[in-house]
């Protein structure tokens, strides 16, 4: 990591600007390491996702996050192949979609085919809810009343235990979960079937939803948090927050850089999305925030807190009892 120190006369602030976190890694509880920053690809399709991945890899990203449900694994596989970057330098995550909880090995093989890979670095249980594999439409089957067609007599503990095979067969170097609340995390960790502690829990996380309670529980088990929608997703008010704007001005960086620097301080892996070459590159920057500024960001959610990706899984409530 290159460090540049500057002193400006107009603003008497001694700034330490880390120009790139592309090579900064976080250590998992299974001994594997992962880059702290990765490219998020949810909602990006076709040419957009191809060029987003291609440009990200050119800018220095080595960690790409996708999921079977995003419908973009093929384009990502092509972009990875076209980049010519050796496989061992890359860190690729994909996720088990909710209609395949009974068959993680079959599902990951399909993902690997699309990605043109022999293994992924990380495989996540995307949601703790099993959708009817025979239902229609296939990806998110619905009941006549419009609710999602959920298999109610099934536990995510069973799904995660089946995911152990994915790991043992070498199809994924590490396994973990996503969208697990404090309550569900406790159930999973207490279950005798859980022989492999998840390495991460990937959740929505940003200053309006800091996930402190979940982070504390996960830390007790050596589980890292991964932040999806770290900027609060398209058009969210996160980047307009007054506290972030003030801190950004003080350090002479963008509010996005302030958010990512706060995540670096917390050792949270973050997965920003961007289709813009300039923003892709700038999202690799971070600054060393003062303790005072970190505290101020930690307090933002006390004034305004919001989950931006709130999906309706009725009658299941994956985030019940959490923030
Ligand atoms: P764009 O693709 O035009 O860069 P999140 O990662 O929280 O889901 O947010 C993604 C959204 O944030 C996208 O709309 C993306 O738009 C935008 N975005 C990504 N990086 C930045 C940045 N550094 N500053 C402002 N907006 C950004």
Residue 122 lies in a domain: yes
Residue 314 lies in a domain: no
> Using one digit for the tens of pLDDT, what is the confidence trace for 182-195?
999 999 999 999 99
Q: pLDDT at residue 221 above 50? A: yes
**Atom 18 (ligand 1) nearest CA:** 274
Residue 312 lies in a domain: no
Q: pLDDT at residue 2 above 90? A: no
Residue 252's domain comprises: 15-302
Write the DSSP symbol of residue 70. Answer: G
Residue 32 lies in a domain: yes
| pLDDT confidence of residue 235 | 86
Q: What number of H helices and E strands is found in the chain?
A: 10, 13
The reply to whether 160 belongs to the active site is: no
Residue 28 lies in a domain: yes
| pLDDT confidence of residue 1 | 44
Residue 308 lies in a domain: no
Q: pLDDT at residue 19 above 70? A: no
> Using one digit for the tens of pLDDT, what is the confidence trace for 86-127?
999 999 999 999 999 999 999 999 999 999 999 999 999 999
**What average pLDDT score do residues 277-283 get?**
96
Ligand 1 neighbours by CB, cut-off 6 Å: 40, 229-234, 239, 254, 256, 272-276, 279, 282-283
Residue 320 lies in a domain: no
| pLDDT confidence of residue 20 | 87
Please name which of 250, 226, 227, 251 lies closest in space to residue 238, comparing C-alpha atoms.
227
Calculate what percentage of the chain has a pLDDT beyond 90.
Answer: 90
Residue among 53, 204, 235, 279 whose CB has most ligand 1 atoms within 8 A, to mutate: 279
Q: pLDDT at residue 153 above 60? A: yes
Calculate what percentage of the chain has a pLDDT beyond 70.
Answer: 94
Q: CA-CA distance, 206 to 39, in Å (whole number)?
A: 16
Instruction: Identify the three-state secondary structure at position 91.
Output: strand
50 alpha carbon – ligand 1 mean position (Å)? 17
283 alpha carbon – ligand 1 mean position (Å)? 9
CATH number, domain of 248, equals 3.20.20.100
| pLDDT confidence of residue 156 | 98
Average predicted confidence (pLDDT) for the chain: 94
| pLDDT confidence of residue 4 | 45
Q: CA-CA distance, 33 to 30, in Å (whole number)?
A: 9
> Using one digit for the tens of pLDDT, what is the confidence trace for 207-220?
999 999 999 999 99
| pLDDT confidence of residue 189 | 98
Residue among 273, 278, 307 whose CB has most ligand 1 atoms within 8 A, to mutate: 273
108 burial level (CB within 10 Å; 0-12, 13-18, 19+): buried
Residue 50 lies in a domain: yes
CB 90 within 8 A of CB 276: no
When pLDDT is cut at 50, 70 and 90, the band that residue 320 belongs to is confident
| pLDDT confidence of residue 15 | 53
109 alpha carbon – ligand 1 mean position (Å)? 31
Query: How many domains in the chain?
Result: 1
Q: pLDDT at residue 6 above 60? A: no
């Amino acid at each position: 990591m290159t460090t540049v120190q500057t002193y400006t006369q107009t603003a008497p602030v001694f700034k330490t600007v880390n120009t790139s976190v592309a090579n900064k890694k976080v250590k998992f509880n299974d001994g594997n390491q992962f880059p702290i920053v990765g490219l998020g690809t949810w909602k990006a399709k076709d040419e957009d996702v191809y060029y987003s991945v291609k440009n990200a890899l050119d800018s220095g990203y080595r960690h790409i996050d996708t999921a079977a449900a995003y419908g973009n694994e093929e384009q990502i596989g092509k972009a990875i192949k076209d980049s010519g970057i050796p496989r061992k330098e890359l860190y690729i995550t994909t996720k088990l979609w909710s209609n395949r909880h009974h068959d993680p090995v079959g599902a990951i093989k399909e993902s690997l085919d699309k990605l043109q890979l022999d293994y992924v670095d990380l495989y996540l249980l995307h949601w703790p809810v099993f959708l009817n594999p025979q239902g229609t439409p296939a990806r998110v089957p619905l009941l006549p009343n419009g609710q999602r067609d959920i298999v109610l007599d099934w536990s995510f503990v069973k799904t995660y235990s089946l995911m152990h095979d994915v790991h043992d067969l070498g199809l994924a170097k590490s396994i973990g979960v996503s969208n697990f609340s404090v309550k569900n995390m406790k159930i999973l960790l207490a279950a005798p079937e859980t022989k492999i502690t998840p390495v991460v829990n990937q959740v929505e996380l940003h200053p309006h939803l800091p996930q402190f309670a979940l982070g504390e529980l996960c830390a007790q088990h050596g589980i890292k948090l991964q932040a999806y929608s770290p900027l609060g997703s398209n058009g969210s008010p996160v980047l307009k927050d007054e506290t972030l704007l003030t801190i950004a001005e003080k350090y002479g960086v963008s509010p996005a850089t302030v958010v990512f620097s706060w995540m670096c301080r917390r050792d949270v892996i973050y997965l920003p999305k961007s289709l813009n070459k300039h923003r892709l590159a700038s999202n690799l920057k971070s600054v060393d925030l003062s303790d005072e500024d970190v505290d101020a960001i930690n307090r933002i959610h006390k004034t305004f807190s919001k989950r931006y990706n709130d999906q309706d899984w009725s009658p299941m409530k994956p985030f019940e009892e959490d923030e």
